[in-house]
Amino acid sequence: MNRKIFYIAIIALFFDQITKILISIFFHVGEKFTLLKNFFSLYFVENYGAAWSIFSGKVDFLILASIIALIIIYRYMYNFQTNKRNNIAFGFIIGGILGNLIDRIFLGYVRDFLAFKIINYNYPVFNLADSFIVIGIFLLIIAVTKGEDKNGRDKSN
């Protein structure tokens, strides 16, 4: 693995875990603190599933799925050009997956705490690891669109 990707993954993992530790120290499960009325709150929940609580209670499956995802991503990342955006993308995805994997292995659930309400819709509560994964995937979509994967054509010519 490229050192830059490794360092970015470690930094993402650190920020994910430190925020989860802080929320666990200062909040009780189910406690909510509104920062921006009708928009953003800190709301500490234990998520026993994945996004939108799918596969709830299937911790072993989610651990295995995370490990398989890490293996696939590790192998797949060598199909991309090495540049700053791609390094950040893979670092964020790997760091995010590791952050939630650590929670599942050691706690049996993921600590979520970022709650948004958007146009009367309470978006599912999430954490920094989830954010890193989504941002990383978005950056990879840009890379594929620009032809920065080995299977894509270089669109700069």
From residue 5, alpha-carbon distances to 83, 85, 107, 132, 144 in Å are 10, 10, 27, 13, 18
Report pLDDT for 54.
Answer: 81
- HSE-up (13 A, CA, CB side) for residue 69: 17
Report pLDDT for 151.
Answer: 56
Q: Which residues carry out catalysis?
A: 112, 130
Report pLDDT for 156.
Answer: 47
Sign of CA dihedral 122, 125, 130, 131: positive
Report pLDDT for 55.
Answer: 81
Q: Bridge-partner residues for 121, per DSSP? A: 118
Report pLDDT for 15.
Answer: 98
Separation CA 72–CA 51 (nearest Å)? 20
Average pLDDT, consecutive stretches of 10 residues, N- to C-terminus, the chain (157 residues)? 92 98 97 94 93 82 96 91 93 98 96 94 94 97 86 48
Global confidence as pTM: 0.90
